[in-house]
Amino acid sequence: MAWRRLTRGATRALALMAGVTTGAAKADLPGDAEAGKDLYAVCSACHQVGVNARDRVGPHLNGIFGCRAAAHEGYRYSASMERAGTDGLVWTFETLDAYIENPRALVSRTRMSFRGMHDPEDRVNLLAYLQKYSDSAANAHEAQPKAQPVADDLDPAILDIEGDAEYGEYLATECLTCHKADGSADGIPSITRWPEEAFVIVMHEYKNKVRPNPVMQMMAGRLTNEEIAALAAYFSTLR
């Protein structure tokens, strides 16, 4: 149910994003850190930045750029975030953008109960603000790329593709070598009963290497948009 809400937002955001990225002039705009400061208010309910920042409800966000996910000693992350970090998820513009837009699409069972920030321009601005608190960025301004919209994001039309569930059933045979059909999970997460849209977003995040894990990046890497839609259609029917 939470997914429905999140993914409707994600769809809208994706539509907006397509608008931003097609405007060639706008695509290079660095974020506005001033505007980002105001937007940060929503995060500050749970996170701290700046001098004396500590881990509170959420971990502090100093030095987050270039940092591995779930890297703060002593902070209790969710198992999903730990796993993402172990798999090699590193916070960059791209991954932060995806996480803030829709936390669960990137890290399936993250404890960060935040609806997501759907306006891509807001996210760029917010990230420009946060970047100021990342050491590497502060010290090496030239080396770090400026916050800017992520160029190759999902075309919203991808979410509208009608999946061929029968083809999906065939394609899914490849997945069932690792993911058990009965939905149980030991060592590899279950993938049955996902809402179609969420499933599509997640698969594209592996395909685009936003989500870590070499096995899944490879599996998703050769799937076409139609094939991902077909898989989503099939898996959503599994009971």
Partner 1 sequence: MKLNRRMFIGTGAAAAASLSAPPVIGQARPRVVVVGGGSGGATAARYIARDSEGAIHVTLVEPSRTYYTCYFSNLYIGGFQNYDDLGHGYGGLATNYGVNVMHDWAIGVDRDAKTVTLAGGSSLPYDKLILSPGIDFVEGSVPGWSIADQDVMPHAYKGGTQAQLLKAQIMAMPEGGTFAMIAPPNPYRCPPGPYERISMVAHALSQNNPTAKILLVDPKPGFSKQALFEEGWLKHYSGMIERIGPDFGAENVSVDPAAMTVDIDGMIEEVDVCNVIPAQKAGRIAELAGVTEGNWAPVNPADMSSRADADIYVLGDASQQGDMPKSGYSANSQAKVCANAVRGALTDSRVFPARYSNTCWSLIATNDGVKVGATYEPTEEKIAEVDGFISQTGEDADLRKATYEESLGWYAGITSDMFG
**Distance between CA atoms of residues 92 and 209, nearest Å:** 12
By CB under 8 A, how many residues form the interface with partner 1?
30
**Distance between CA atoms of residues 92 and 94, nearest Å:** 5
Angle at 140 between CA 73 and CA 137, to 5 degrees: 45
From the list 178, 167, 162, 155, the residue with the least C-alpha distance to 223 is: 167
Q: Which DSSP letter does residue 90 get?
A: B
Contact 195, 7 (CB under 8 A): yes
Among 72, 179, 192, 209, binds partner 1 (CB under 8 A): 179
When asked if residue 170 is in the footprint of partner 1 (CB under 8 A), the reply is yes
Residue 6, amino acid: L
With respect to ligand HEC, which residue has the nearer C-beta, 14 or 194?
194
Ranges within 96-135 binding ligand HEC (CB under 6 A): 96, 99-100, 107-108, 110-114, 117
When asked if residue 36 is in the footprint of ligand HEC (CB under 6 A), the reply is no
Residue 37, amino acid: K
Q: How far is the CB of 216 from ligand HEC (least distance, A)?
A: 5
**Distance between CA atoms of residues 119 and 25, nearest Å:** 18
Q: Which stretch binds ligand HEC (CB under 6 A): 16-24, 41-49, 135-143, 158-166?
A: 41-49
Residues that bind ligand HEC (CB under 6 A): 42-43, 45-47, 57-59, 61, 64, 69-72, 77-78, 80-81, 83, 87, 91, 96, 99-100, 107-108, 110-114, 117, 171, 174-175, 177-179, 188-189, 191, 199, 202, 211, 213, 215-216, 219, 231
